């Protein structure tokens, strides 16, 4: 199998895995929708910094569960 064929097969496999994961975690759609809405409302100059601050509470919650 040449490299191009391998990449296409791998890409398809990963895409299927991603969609399966998203289907089994519907709450992610709401989290992303809320995040995008916050970006539109606040129009931050630095989206990366805004994302870091926006998702920080989620990281803290995840740390509590461990």
Tens of pLDDT, residues 45-56: 999 999 999 999
- When pLDDT is cut at 50, 70 and 90, the band that residue 11 belongs to is very high
Q: In terms of residue numbers, what domain contains 38?
A: 3-65
Planar angle of CA 56, 60, 66, nearest 5 degrees: 145
User: Are 6 and 22 contacting, i.e. CB atoms less than 8 angstroms apart?
Assistant: no
- When pLDDT is cut at 50, 70 and 90, the band that residue 8 belongs to is very high
Question: What is the number of domains present in the chain?
Answer: 1
- When pLDDT is cut at 50, 70 and 90, the band that residue 63 belongs to is low
Residue 59 pLDDT > 70, yes or no? yes
Report pLDDT for 58.
84
Report pLDDT for 14.
97
């Amino acid at each position: 199998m040449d490299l191009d064929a391998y990449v296409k097969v791998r890409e398809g496999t990963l895409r299927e895995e991603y969609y399966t994961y998203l289907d089994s975690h519907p709450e992610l759609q709401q989290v992303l929708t809320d995040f995008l809405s916050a970006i539109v409302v606040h129009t931050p100059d630095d989206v990366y910094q805004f994302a870091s601050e926006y998702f920080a509470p989620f990281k803290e919650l995840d740390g509590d569960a461990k």
